[in-house]
């Protein structure tokens, strides 16, 4: 479904199952194994939703009963690109849904002198300009890292309309800032939080996703 009044934002259906999953991962008392398990379930749903919106073309196959089935096949190749480190948690969800998918990485960290995001490393497939890209980062708060990562992709020749930014939680501020820079990129998310606190953390949020996913 598309959220209103946001254009190019796909919000997962807010079912009781999804709300239950978010209740678990938002709970500060949830254990790390449970956090990983239920976050992975949401990530899988985000990837599936992204795949729902990729272009297809008609394809006819013959079944085991020698009957024709009028189906479809995907157009083009897919690449997952994670914003290191938290985005790497979403790579397996892409691999689970997309056989032999290529994975790229972009490392962006805050410059201690300027407090602004700085690109430190990128490793992307040579043919990424010809692929549909799932940009992976669990949280969209201020949008600084996502904007820089998207700029890297576009400079490598990826068309904005071929980029799908997958995240678990985002804020209105983050959406507005990101789409001000890249209005044609589609955001696929599972939750819209009410805003940011004075430290630019999502509220109600869930804390630092990377720490909760990777640290004991």
Catalytic residues: 110, 114, 208, 211
**Residue 162 token pair:** 């071929």
Tell me how far apart the alpha carbons of residues 27 and 22 are, in angstroms, rounded to a whole number: 8
Please give the DSSP secondary-structure letter assigned to residue 19: H
Q: In the numeric block, which tokens belong to residue 38?
A: 């239920």
Distances (CA, A) of 174 to 10, 29, 110, 156, 181: 15, 27, 17, 24, 11
DSSP string, 155-186: HTT--GGGEEEEESEEEHHHHHHHHHH-TTSE
Do residues 49 and 29 touch, judged by C-beta distance below 8 A? no
């Amino acid at each position: 479904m598309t959220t209103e009044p946001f254009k190019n934002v796909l919000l997962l259906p807010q079912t009781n199952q999804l709300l239950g999953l978010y209740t678990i991962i938002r709970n500060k008392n949830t254990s790390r194994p449970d956090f990983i398990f239920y976050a992975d379930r949401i990530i899988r749903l985000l990837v599936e939703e992204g795949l729902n919106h990729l272009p297809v073309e008609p394809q006819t196959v013959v079944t085991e009963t020698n009957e024709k089935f009028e189906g479809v096949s995907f157009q083009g190749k897919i690449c997952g690109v994670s914003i290191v480190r938290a985005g790497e948690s979403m790579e397996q969800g892409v691999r689970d849904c997309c056989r032999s998918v290529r994975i790229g990485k972009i490392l962006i960290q805050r410059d201690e002198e300027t407090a602004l995001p700085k690109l430190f490393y990128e490793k992307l497939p040579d043919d990424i300009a010809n692929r549909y890209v799932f940009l992976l980062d669990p949280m969209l708060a201020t949008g600084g890292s996502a904007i820089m990562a998207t700029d890297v992709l576009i400079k490598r020749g990826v068309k904005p309309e071929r980029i799908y930014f997958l995240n678990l939680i985002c804020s209105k501020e983050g959406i507005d800032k990101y789409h001000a820079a890249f209005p044609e990129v589609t955001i696929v998310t599972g939750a819209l939080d009410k805003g940011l606190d004075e430290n630019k953390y999502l509220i109600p949020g869930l804390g630092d996703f990377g720490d909760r996913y990777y640290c004991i």
